[in-house]
């Protein structure tokens, strides 16, 4: 028990540092110190410039198909993890699926980048490049599901003709282009100064994305009392059952022995709070903004404690 408490305390401090920034940004938005236009501008800069630069430079520098021959499996793992989450969500809301389909994405689709990247950096900065590479490969499979199935379920039914453009984002395209250059070995012709400049721009992605995450959460409307039972089920599935299933699966596969950073990454992904993209989808395509926003905020508050708990459990398992 003492070992668990020590592992939890260590992980909690690292995670809590990230959430301090997130909630500080949220308060600044609610106090109108940071305006919605500021967050929108920072979000656009992150999506269009900083994150694509981080992805492009990281993949070109760290993806080695010889050393990591199974790299293409990681996007498939992302789809599998999301599918398992959707099935668990469907079981949790099985008697109310028609009315509460919008709860399924909240119970299955995590913040795969904006939350996971800074946590990976805080927990193990020396391994961050490898951790980030796994994250970008994961997002390659995850984003199309988030922006198609997620949009459909969370409130965008009937507007599917608009969703295909949503996942052809600059980060997604930067990922594809970088992987293509590595696989064809064409990345060798890129001048070192140009790659260094791209890497420099990418270094802004994690801190700015953390600020944007807090700003988006700070702008959502809150009404908790009416949705408590739904919140319990969403949090129970997303922050308890899905990480538990992931830890059992990763342990049975003995992945922590052969690829410890990847194993820890998958545990963090499974235990991360719901994707902020879902509230953006509701704003764009329609849906119950107040309910989705309230449950998302509750999930992030719960995640402050559940995420360090699962990281601590994992650390105890791997010794």
Residue 319 counted as domain residue: no
Q: How many domains does the chain have?
A: 1
Residue 76 counted as domain residue: yes
Residue 141 counted as domain residue: yes
Question: What long-range pairs does 185-191 form, CB within 8 A, spacing at least 24?
Answer: 187/60, 190/60
Summarised one tens digit per residue, pLDDT across range 8-52 is 888 888 888 888 988 898 899 888 898 888 988 988 888 889 999
- Rg of the chain (C-alpha set): 19
Return d(Cα 205, Cα 131) in angstroms, integer: 15
pLDDT at residue 290, as a whole number: 81
Predicted model pTM: 0.88
The list of the chain residues with pLDDT below 50 reads 158, 160-161
Whether 139 and 112 have beta carbons less than 8 Å apart is answered as: yes
The CATH number linked to 285 is 1.20.1530
pLDDT at residue 18, as a whole number: 86
Residue 55 counted as domain residue: yes
Residue 317 counted as domain residue: no
pLDDT at residue 222, as a whole number: 72
- First CA to last CA distance, the chain: 14
Residue 11 counted as domain residue: yes
Residue 161 counted as domain residue: yes
- How many other C-beta atoms can be found within 10 angstroms of the C-beta atom of residue 174? 22
**CA proximity to 52, closest of 208, 207, 202:** 202
Beta bridge partners of 110: 274
Integer angstrom CA distances of residue 167 from 4, 106, 143, 159, 274: 40, 18, 6, 14, 17
Domain that holds residue 260: 2-312
pLDDT at residue 164, as a whole number: 56
pLDDT at residue 167, as a whole number: 60
Residue 89 counted as domain residue: yes
Whether 236 and 306 have beta carbons less than 8 Å apart is answered as: no
Return d(Cα 85, Cα 93) in angstroms, integer: 12
Give the single-character DSSP code of 220. Answer: S
Return d(Cα 183, Cα 179) in angstroms, integer: 6
Sign of the CA dihedral with 35 first, then 37, 40, and 42 last: negative
């Amino acid at each position: 028990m003492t070992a668990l408490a020590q592992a939890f305390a260590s992980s909690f401090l690292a995670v809590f540092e990230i959430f301090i920034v997130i909630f500080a940004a949220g308060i600044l938005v609610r106090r109108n110190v940071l305006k919605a236009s500021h967050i929108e501008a920072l979000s656009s800069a992150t999506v269009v410039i900083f994150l694509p630069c981080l992805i492009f430079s990281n993949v070109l520098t760290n993806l080695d198909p010889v050393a990591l021959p199974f790299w293409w499996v990681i996007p498939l793992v992302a789809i599998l993890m999301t599918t398992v989450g959707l099935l668990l969500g469907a079981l949790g809301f099985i008697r109310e699926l028609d009315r509460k389909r919008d709860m399924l994405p909240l119970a299955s689709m995590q913040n795969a980048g904006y939350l996971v990247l800074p946590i990976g950096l805080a927990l193990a900065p020396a391994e961050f490049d490898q951790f980030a590479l796994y994250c970008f490969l994961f997002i390659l499979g995850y984003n199309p599901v988030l922006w198609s199935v997620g949009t459909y379920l969370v409130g965008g039914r009937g507007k599917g003709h608009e969703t295909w453009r949503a996942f052809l984002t600059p980060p997604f395209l930067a990922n594809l282009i970088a992987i293509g250059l590595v696989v064809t070995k064409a990345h060798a012709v890129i001048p070192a100064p140009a790659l260094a400049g791209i890497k420099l721009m990418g270094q802004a992605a994690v801190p700015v994305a953390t600020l944007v995450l807090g700003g988006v959460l700070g702008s959502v409307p809150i009404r908790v009392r009416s949705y408590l039972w739904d919140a319990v089920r969403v949090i129970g599935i997303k922050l308890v059952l899905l990480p538990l299933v992931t830890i059992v699966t990763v342990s049975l596969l003995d992945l922590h022995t052969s690829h410890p950073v990847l194993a820890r990454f998958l545990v963090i992904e499974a235990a991360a709070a719901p994707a902020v993209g879902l509230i953006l989808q509701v704003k764009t395509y329609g849906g119950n903004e107040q309910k989705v926003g309230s449950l998302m905020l509750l999930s992030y508050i719960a995640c402050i404690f559940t995420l360090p708990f699962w990281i601590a459990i994992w650390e105890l398992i791997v010794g």
